């Protein structure tokens, strides 16, 4: 009997040990997997690091590249394009003006009534998404679609469409354009999600003008501007200290007010103001100081424009979600903390930046929004809280890098024009010798306006780079619909009835 009891006890003990060993084994295994994932996160954090020292290197590189791009055509990846805008709206403009804003996922038509006194503008705005097939089809189809929308908009506004009086239009076209005048220019290349091959190298305003004629709409493209230039115009209209404008939306770019004698590649450029707005096309900026990860390299290689728009691919709304998707995919492949690898994780752009921002800013204790987006968007259900926290951290790292790099870009411009308190690119004077003037930068784009964490990281970095003493002289103003409204303002100041400055620009 005793033997039997002993035998049973030993058996139970052995079984208990086996179970314990199994549990321990599983724990060890799962800890290993977790450690692997934490390793991936650590690696991401390290390669995205943007210490203030590194940001200052980016600032210097930006200022140097700006010089190079102004010195000679093709002298830098920064195109530093002439805009032929040498005067910004004064506030005395009068009349009804239209604008058409094309460049992101949506396009907008606007109508602005100007009373001649700098006042709050209250434009009528209509926005609609651009059907995806039009972004990659034939240019004529795209322009016909735009012209039809504009036609309907004018009709709705009760402005006679066929009136013999020519209506003036500001056309915001947010892609790199080599301007030949303030109202004409040739598309250099597409960026973001656009790829209409037959349009590259073609006259942009001309294509729209022809579509307007086909539609029978008596309207003249008075100005062809980049969205940054529209934003600068509106920013300056409200705040005369505005010297630069930045867009951080689907794509990213900046323009600023430059002295014509600094535009060396265009010797003998004469303007009445002695200055001109330069469209930097900073999305294409590149420097070895940029903190680049394996995910950026992959994203770039798989994009339709490899080796192009490197800065944009680290900063703008078109790409941030996709960087995060790539990190989650890698983690999911390395361990099963997300369950079996979801096929959605292999789909480029399956995770859009607005969804990523919503996960980042989920402040519910259980991270309910993160769980919902992982399930609904990426088809990853039942993710434990610990893993959801990890996802938030990935979003944070990617967004923090983007916002801080954008801040460095802004300071790069300030440095180029001697408004960063350092005495300009050639330096020489100490910070304390320099009397800082109030300097305003107009900013627009959903990443900045709708993504609080992004905005906060950007401001924090501006203060870190500039130091509090200088930073308090630098104001960031958000403009609303500046890219469009600003174009209408510029159409007004360059309209056929105004004494616009376009005739005063000479290339000798
Ligand atoms: C374009 C710029 C534009 C920016 C913001 C970039 O992809 O190249 O021209 O200003 O997006 O819309």
Q: Cα of 367 to ligand 1 centre, how many Å?
A: 34
Locate the ligand 1 atom nearest the alpha carbon of residue 177 and give its number.
9
Question: Could you tell me if residue 299 is left (phi over 0), alpha (psi between -120 and 50 degrees) or otherwise beta?
Answer: alpha
Q: What is the dihedral of CA 401, 407, 409, 415, to 10 degrees?
A: -140
Which run of H or of E encompasses 159? none
Q: Name which of 164, 177, 186, 282 is nearest 226 in CA terms.
A: 177
Q: Cα of 170 to ligand 1 centre, how many Å?
A: 17
Q: What positions carry a catalytic annotation?
A: 192, 227
Contact 43, 330 (CB under 8 A): no
Distance (Å, rounded) from C-alpha 96 to C-alpha 123?
10
Owner of token pair 């006679």: 160
Distance (Å, rounded) from C-alpha 502 to C-alpha 180?
12
Which run of H or of E encompasses 109? strand 106-115
Contact 444, 227 (CB under 8 A): yes
Going from the C-alpha of 147 to that of each of 1, 5, 137, 286, 368, the distances in angstroms are 99, 93, 16, 37, 44
Q: Cα of 300 to ligand 1 centre, how many Å?
A: 17
Q: Which residues line ligand 1 (CB under 6 A)?
A: 103, 174-176, 191-192, 226-228, 247, 249, 251-253, 281, 283, 312
Minimal-distance CA residue to ligand 1 atom 11: 251
Q: Cα of 25 to ligand 1 centre, how many Å?
A: 53
Locate the ligand 1 atom nearest the alpha carbon of residue 191 and give its number.
7
Locate the ligand 1 atom nearest the alpha carbon of residue 309 and give its number.
7
Minimal-distance CA residue to ligand 1 atom 2: 175
Sign of CA dihedral 247, 253, 259, 260: negative
Q: Name which of 112, 150, 144, 113 is nearest 128 in CA terms.
A: 150
Contact 171, 487 (CB under 8 A): yes
Sheet containing strand 167-173, strands side by side: 124-129, 106-115, 94-102, 167-173, 219-225
Sign of CA dihedral 311, 315, 317, 323: positive
Distance (Å, rounded) from C-alpha 62 to C-alpha 343?
39
Question: Could you tell me if residue 255 is left (phi over 0), alpha (psi between -120 and 50 degrees) or otherwise beta?
Answer: beta
Instruction: Going residue by residue through the chain, which has 508 residues, state the pLDDT in tens, using 9 for 90 and above.
Output: 455 555 556 565 656 656 565 555 666 667 888 999 999 999 999 999 999 999 999 999 999 999 999 999 999 999 999 999 999 998 888 999 999 999 988 899 999 999 887 777 889 999 999 999 999 999 999 999 999 999 999 999 877 767 778 999 999 999 999 999 999 999 999 999 899 999 999 999 999 999 999 999 999 999 999 999 999 999 999 999 999 999 999 999 999 999 999 999 998 888 889 999 999 999 999 999 999 999 999 999 999 999 999 999 999 999 999 999 999 999 999 999 999 999 999 999 999 999 999 999 999 999 999 999 999 999 999 999 999 999 999 999 999 999 999 999 999 999 999 999 986 544 445 555 557 899 999 999 999 999 999 999 999 999 999 999 999 999 999 998 889 999 999 999 988 665 444 334 555 4
Query: Helix or strand or coil: residue 250?
Result: coil
Q: Cα of 77 to ligand 1 centre, how many Å?
A: 14
Locate the ligand 1 atom nearest the alpha carbon of residue 176 and give its number.
9
HEC profile of 427-453? CCCCHHHCCCCCEEEEEECHHHHHCHH
Contact 374, 388 (CB under 8 A): yes
Distance (Å, rounded) from C-alpha 444 to C-alpha 247?
5
Instruction: Give the residue, out of 101, 200, 281, with the most ligand 1 atoms within 8 A of its beta carbon, to mutate for a pocket test.
Output: 281
Distance (Å, rounded) from C-alpha 205 to C-alpha 224?
6
Minimal-distance CA residue to ligand 1 atom 7: 251
């Amino acid at each position: 009997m005793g033997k039997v009891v002993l035998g049973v006890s030993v058996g139970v003990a052995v079984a208990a040990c086996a179970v314990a060993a199994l549990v321990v084994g599983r724990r060890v295994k799962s800890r290993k997997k977790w450690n692997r994932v934490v390793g991936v996160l650590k690696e991401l954090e390290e390669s995205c690091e943007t210490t203030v020292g590194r940001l200052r290197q980016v600032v210097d590189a930006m200022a140097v590249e700006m010089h190079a791009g102004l010195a000679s055509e093709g002298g830098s990846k920064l195109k530093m394009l002439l805009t032929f805008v040498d005067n910004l709206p004064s506030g005395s403009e009068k009349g009804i003006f239209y604008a058409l804003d094309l460049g992101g996922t949506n396009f907008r038509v606007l109508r602005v009534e100007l009373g001649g006194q700098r006042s709050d503008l209250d434009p009528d705005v209509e926005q609609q998404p651009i059907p995806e097939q039009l972004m990659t089809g034939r240019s004529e189809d795209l322009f016909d679609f735009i012209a039809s929308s504009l036609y309907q908009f004018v009709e709705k506004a009760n402005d006679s469409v066929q009136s013999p009086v020519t209506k003036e239009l500001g056309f915001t076209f947010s892609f790199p354009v080599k301007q030949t005048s303030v109202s004409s220019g040739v598309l250099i290349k597409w960026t973001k999600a656009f790829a209409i091959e037959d349009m590259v190298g073609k006259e942009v305003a001309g294509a729209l003008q022809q579509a307007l004629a086909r539609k029978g709409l008596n309207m003249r493209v008075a100005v062809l501007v980049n969205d940054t230039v529209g934003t600068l115009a509106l920013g300056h209209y409200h705040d005369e200290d505005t010297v630069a404008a930045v867009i951080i939306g689907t794509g990213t770019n900046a323009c600023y007010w430059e002295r014509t004698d600094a535009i060396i590649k265009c010797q003998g450029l004469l303007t009445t103001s002695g200055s001109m707005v330069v469209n930097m096309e900073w999305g294409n900026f590149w420097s070895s100081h940029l903190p680049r990860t394996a995910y950026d390299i992959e994203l770039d290689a798989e994009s339709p424009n490899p080796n192009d728009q490197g800065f944009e691919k680290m900063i703008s709304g078109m790409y941030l979600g996709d960087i995060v998707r790539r990190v989650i995919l890698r983690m999911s492949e390395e361990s099963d903390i997300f369950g079996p690898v979801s096929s959605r994780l292999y789909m480029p752009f399956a995770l859009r930046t607005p969804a990523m921002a919503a996960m980042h800013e989920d402040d519910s204790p259980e991270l309910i929004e993160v769980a919902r987006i992982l399930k609904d968007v990426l088809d990853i259900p039942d993710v434990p809280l610990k893993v959801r926290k990890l996802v938030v951290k990935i979003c944070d790292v990617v967004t923090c890098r983007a916002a801080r790099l954008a801040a460095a870009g802004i300071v790069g411009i300030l440095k180029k024009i001697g408004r960063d308190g350092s005495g300009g690119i050639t330096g020489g004077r100490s910070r304390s010798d320099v009397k800082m003037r109030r300097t305003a930068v107009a900013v627009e784009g959903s990443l900045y306006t709708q993504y609080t964490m992004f905005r906060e990281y950007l401001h924090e970095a501006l203060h870190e780079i500039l130091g509090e003493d200088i930073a308090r002289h630098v104001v960031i103003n958000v403009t609303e619909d500046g890219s469009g409204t600003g174009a209408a303002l510029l159409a007004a100041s360059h309209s056929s009835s105004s004494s616009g400055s376009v005739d005063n620009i000479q290339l000798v």
